Amino acid sequence: MKRVILIAIIVFVAALIAGGSLIPLLGGARGLDIDGVATPHGAATPGAGRGWAHYGGDSGGARFSALHDITPANVRSLEIAWTYETGDAQRPPAVQEQAAAEATPILVDGRLVFCTPFNEVIALHPASGKELWRHDAKIALDQRPANQFVCRGVAFWRDAGAEDACAARLFMGTNDGRLVSLDAATGVPCGDFGRNGEVALDPETDLVWPGEFQITSPPVVVGDTVIVGSSSSDNVRVAAPSGVVRAYDARTGAPKWNFDPAPGLRQANVWAPIAVDEKRGLVFLPTSSASPDFFGGLRPGANDDADSIVALKAESGERVWRFQTVHHDIWDYDLPAQPGLYTVWRDGRPHDVVAQVTKTGLVFVLDRDTGTPFLPVEERAVPQGAVDGEWLSPTQPFPVATPPIVPDRLEPKDAFGLTFLDRRFCAREISRARSDGLFTPPSTTGTLIYPFNGGGANWGGAAYDETRNLLIVNMSNMAHRVTLIPEEEVAAVRELHHDAEVSPQKGAPYGVRRDLLVSPLMLPCTPPPWGVIAAVDLDTGAIVWRKRLGTTKDIAGGLALPFGTPNLGGPIATGGGLVFIGAAMDDYLRAFDIETGEELWKGRLPAGGQATPMTYEWDGRQYVVIYAGGHGRMSTRLGDEIVAFALPQKSRR
């Protein structure tokens, strides 16, 4: 198959070299308008420091550092300063293929700390990458986790009233549903927290298999309260494991409060990272859809707290406000990313906002105190006509100022193909499915979900440069075909299509089959670019620039065509005027000019970089670090290295 794909690509490239235009060869595909230049903004005081103490840079997820030694003028001189191997590359291939290296390290108390997909916490020396300590949470490797083996990060907390061991602590959630507390200096469990340094979360139901319930995103800490969400397998059953968000005493592990995003509905959880406003004493939850994903007739109504940004008082769990981005979700369009707590400058005045990027390709910007739109949002009529027993919302919320970052409508004329035959195949498949635009209801004949359930945006989230009012976000551009299956036919369909994704949605009248819309050459039927990175002005909502992200180098036999690729992992922005991002399916860390979106540099990685990078200064030198461990589900190159880039000593200003 790889040989066939390579031959087709060579034919395609030959046609380009011969002088053919790109658009006719794509069959008139509409694709994206990838252009635009930045407009300057008045400077404001940067809000980030010189380190990276939280998963998202700061507690509000800005993913911005004021460090400015690396600039557009010298970024091409970046070189690898050090690497560290976790040892996971030595695990059995069947285990590695179930893992995703999605962690972002933090720099705390002079240590660079991160977690592996298998819940080992490791501390490194920031200048050399030398291992200082490691702790293994000893998860079972035969549990078949619902969302792969994943650990995106750890949280740090300092107990102001303590001076002995565990005065500074690290918290991590595990793939088997435990919250672990470690001494930040040694990695030894804090024995006064829960039982022997850990608390087990209660899924409130017997699990169908051990990996059905897990924790994938880092906890957060506010005052002396540690808060954690959870994740569970999609579409297994209506009565899925509990999605309750839980808060504990950071010293003892004693429960403090619970918040249920969908009481009585189950599985509307918070699997993505949580944001914290320490000054206001608030936490901001990105909630998921209620179970099951693709049929909601058993949960009529908007399901108010699901698919919402929910602001809670951190001390009590009391809800302050909520804003729902999808009413009665039956598309798996849950909120996948950390809400961004930013300060937007308008007419010389600061405005505190919450910005949420979504799987639908839309960006919502809200007032942080009230949850009302800072940039206007309107309810628009959406496609109707669902299967018997379903409940539909007649309208859905859409931002007015910011258009979708990626397309949300697919027609046969848009079909992509390297050759006439596969383009014709894709056009036929699009014409056979229901495709009336965003929020077309799932059907028994097949409905196109576009953008697909992976986004748009995903857990990598966005970065924000307050000095320019620029939100930087990366998104994917692919489609799913979702087909509802009467419950009595699910077993037969699973047997007949045993290699396909067929889920029972047990307890609902329909199961579901979900397929990526791809050609016989296994390339997306959607028009490229299949991955983009964009800048949005949060004062006006305008898209300032939008560029392709990634090439086909590592998925097409080394031929690097600029089609962009689906991506996982997020961007960071720096005071030097740069955006750093991995995420794409080729093995590179890239740097873009934040003003124009021009790609200025890319550094080769030893494996897939499906993680969000970070940056810090140590001994006067700026480093940019990314976890290059690959992603089993995306089939990128697997590995186990932390890679640190820096300027040569002579190139530093």
- CA–CA distance, 501 with 634 (Å, rounded to integer): 15
- CA–CA distance, 457 with 160 (Å, rounded to integer): 38
Cβ-count burial of 349 within 10 angstroms (0-12 exposed, 13-18 middle, 19+ buried)?
A: exposed
Residue whose entry in the numeric block shows the structure tokens 């399916």: 585
DSSP letters along 416-481, please? --SSHHHHHHHHHHHHHSB--STTPPPBSS-EEESSBTTBSS-TT-EEEETTTTEEEEEEE---EE
Q: How many CB atoms lie within 10 A of CB 559?
A: 15
Beta partners for residue 131, in sequence order: 124
Whether 332 is a known active-site residue: answer: yes
* Amino acid, single-letter form, for residue 14: A
Name the 3-class secondary structure at 4: helix
Pairing of strands 599-604, 614-618: unpaired
CB 636 within 8 A of CB 587: yes
In the structure encoding, which two tokens stand for residue 433, read together?
A: 């499915």
HEC per residue, 165-212: CCCEEEEEECCCCEEEEEECCCCCECCCCEECCEEECCCCCCCCCHHH
Q: In what order do the strands lie in the sheet with 349-357?
A: 340-346, 349-357, 363-367
- CA–CA distance, 216 with 117 (Å, rounded to integer): 9
Element (DSSP H or E) covering residue 490: helix 490-496
The gap from C-alpha 158 to its chain's centroid, in whole angstroms, comes to 28
Q: Which of 58, 332, 422, 586 is catalytic?
A: 332
Residues designated catalytic:
332
